[in-house]
Amino acid sequence: MNKILIVFVLLFFISFISACSYKKFDQKVWLEYSDWSKSAVKNPRMNMIDDLSNNYLKVGMPKSEVIRLLGDNYECQKDDTITSEYKNACKYQIGEDFTGDVDSFVIFFDENDNVIKFHYVPG
C-alpha cells in the first residue's frame, strides 16, 4: 500500500511540475487555444505569459498589432461607466484553474489605443 501511495504522490508531483513549466510564446499554439473552454485546465497559454510579456508585448504598441499577434478572441471594454483603470482594456482568457475560476491576461490601452500596461489576472 505504501509503495502505491509513494508512486501516486511522485506521479502527481511530476505532473504538477510539468504543468507549471515555462514555455516560449508560440503564436500558432496561442491562436489554436483561443477557445479556452475546450481544454481550460490544460491550456498552454498560461505557460507563455512570461515570454509574451517580456519579449513580444511592448508599452506603446498599437492595439492593431496586439490583435494581429494574439488574435481577435478577446473581451474588450471601452466604457466610461467602469473604473478608470479598465476603461480601455482587452482581456484574453488563458485557462481555468483547478477551482473553475477563469484566469485572464489583461492589456490596457490609452485613449489612442496604444498599450500602457499588461498583466496576468487570476480567476
pLDDT in tens, the chain (123 residues): 576 656 444 444 444 444 455 689 999 999 988 875 555 567 888 899 999 999 999 999 999 999 999 998 888 766 555 455 667 888 888 887 777 788 889 999 998 999 999 999 887
Using a cut of 0.85, tell me whether the model's pTM lies above it: no
> CA-to-CA distance for 27 and 51, rounded, in angstroms?
12
Q: Is the dihedral of CA 66, 119, 117, 113 positive or negative?
A: positive
| Residues written for the chain | 123
104 within 8 A of 93, measured Cβ to Cβ: yes
Torsion of CA 77, 91, 39, 45, to 10 degrees: 160
- Which CATH fold would you assign to the domain 24-121? Beta-lactamase Inhibitory Protein; Chain:B, domain 1 (3.30.1450)
